[in-house]
Amino acid sequence: MPGITGQGTTYNLPNFVGELFQITPEATPLLSAIGGLTGGVSIKSVEREWQIEDLRDNDQNVALEGANAPAGQSRVRSNVTNIAEIHHSAVETSYTKQGTQNKTNTAGVEGTNPIANEHDHQVMNELKAVAKDVNHAFWNGEYNKPSDNTTARKTRGLLQAISTNRIVYSNGGVELGATVPGTSATDTITMTHSFTAGDKVVFTARGALMSIVIGRVYFVQSVSTTVSFKIAATLGGAAITVGTGAGIKAIPVSTTAPVLDTYNQLFQRAYDNGGLGDVVNATIACNSSQKRNLTATYASAYAKSDPLAGTRNVGGVNLTTIETDFGTLNIMLDRQLPQDALAIVSLEQLAPFFLEVEGQGHFFEEPLAKVGSATRSQLYGEIGLEYGNEKAHAQLRGLPVFI
């Protein structure tokens, strides 16, 4: 269904009768789990800073009997920062549209229009859309701290923040463009690769090429050389014009199903580097493809030994928690996590932060000045992600996807 840029009128916002169903999923699992648009931390700056410190390496470190006190020991702290990005949108509805809620466009059909106030309804729709934008950014955001106002601030998403416990399952563990980021000219991406037509690829960095969506699965449309290829939105579809620019990174999507040890390596890496300390809040986050992979892998490994096998009249397996060598992990489904990704998240270390605007709050709707026969409102908030210690989280990328 089309969206409307500009003013909503009786011509572009027709009324119908009957129950109204929202066909776009509204859930924002990560954002909701850490406070939503009304929780989190209020700040008086566009940048949020927190600190991390470590302990010295352990050894036997024994002393002689009667020895003098040794030299003093101290640990240097370091800072971590992230920035708030601006979410700003508006809704405009004509007076005529607001006054004709009982005028319907389907002749001869009995019923009433369920929308009593068109403007309020469209504001609520936009608020839900902004929440989804924020949830997407908290996973996939590409950090940008500009030196002037010619480019927008962008918060660092959790997947970009996780560097220590990051495993690429495909392509021998190598992310394309990790050393020399790729470039694009019109519809051709220049990057060393081993693709063939039909392969799947997910982009993790796009530079200024806004036509590429971070985390979306694309198909290799054609390959001309080992350093250039084109992508399509669908298998066998037309090549996408991605534009001209640099800074592209990508992960090939594997076709090899994961096994139990695939996940155990990630769990161990997270534990060895200090993660999985809070087993209550330790969560596996994934999209639909990786939920299927998890279920298939663990069902194959363990379900066949179920003592109740053969006595049930209900089939199937639905994992909600996983018992690992390093604690029990909950599973959270999130549609805005890339399909190739599985993340281990320490939820207790995550929080949204908001710029507190004097007299307005940290995310708000307010009326705009009248310029004609319409009601105008704007929604505004400056929001970023605090993610704590990046070693407390982990990610596995390039896993097989089902689309």
Judged against a pLDDT cut of 80, whether residue 239 lies above it is answered with yes
Q: What is the pairing mode between strands 182-185 and 228-232?
A: unpaired
**Residue range 344-373: mean pLDDT, rounded:** 93
Query: Is 74 within the bounds of a domain?
Result: no
Same domain membership, residue 229 and residue 187: yes
Same domain, 283 and 177: no
- Residue 261 CA neighbour count, 13 Å, CB half: 0
Residue range 61-76: average pLDDT?
92
CATH number at 338 reads 3.30.2320
The reply to whether 165 falls in a domain is no
Residue 384: pLDDT above 80?
A: yes
d(CA 12, CA 228): 43
Q: Could you tell me if 334 and 344 lie in one domain?
A: yes
Distances (CA, A) of 75 to 59, 63, 168, 184: 16, 21, 32, 45
Residue 333 pLDDT > 90? yes
Res. 137: pLDDT tops 80: yes
Mean pLDDT for 60-88 is: 94
Q: What is the mean pLDDT of residues 163-178?
A: 95
User: Could you tell me which residues come within 8 angstroms of residue 280 by beta carbon, excluding any fewer than 6 positions away?
Assistant: 348
What distance in Å separates the CA atoms of residue 68 and residue 162, rounded to the nearest whole number?
43
**Are residues 203 and 220 both part of a single domain?**
yes
Kindly state whether residues 375 and 392 are assigned to the same domain.
Answer: no
Q: Which domain holds residue 40?
A: 7-53+79-156+352-386
166 domain-assigned: no
- pLDDT at position 290: 97
pLDDT value at residue 303: 65
Average pLDDT of the segment spanning 374-397? 96
Within a domain: 225: yes
Report pLDDT for 301. 87
- Same structural domain for residues 228 and 325? no
**pLDDT score for 309:** 54
- Domain shared by 140 and 99, yes or no: yes
144 and 121 in a common domain: yes
**What is the rounded CA–CA span in Å between residue 62 and residue 345?**
38
Predicted local confidence at residue 311, as pLDDT: 58
pLDDT over 70, % of the chain: 96
Q: Which two tokens stand for residue 331?
A: 């599973």
Residue 279 has pLDDT above 80, yes or no: no
CA distance 95 to 19: 24
Q: Are residues 26 and 136 in the same domain?
A: yes
**Number of domains present in the structure of the chain:** 3
Task: Give domain status of residue 137, yes or no.
Answer: yes
pLDDT at 313 > cutoff 70: no
Q: What is the pLDDT of residue 320?
A: 86
Given this model, what pLDDT does residue 105 score? 85
**Residues 339 and 373 occupy one common structural domain:** no
Pairing of the two strands 85-94 and 7-8: parallel
63 by Cβ neighbours in 10 Å (0-12 / 13-18 / 19+) ranks as exposed
Together in a domain, 237 and 336: no
Does residue 298 share a domain with residue 178? no
pLDDT of residue 302: 83
C-alpha distances out from residue 94 to 1, 7, 90, 221, 372, Å: 20, 7, 14, 45, 9
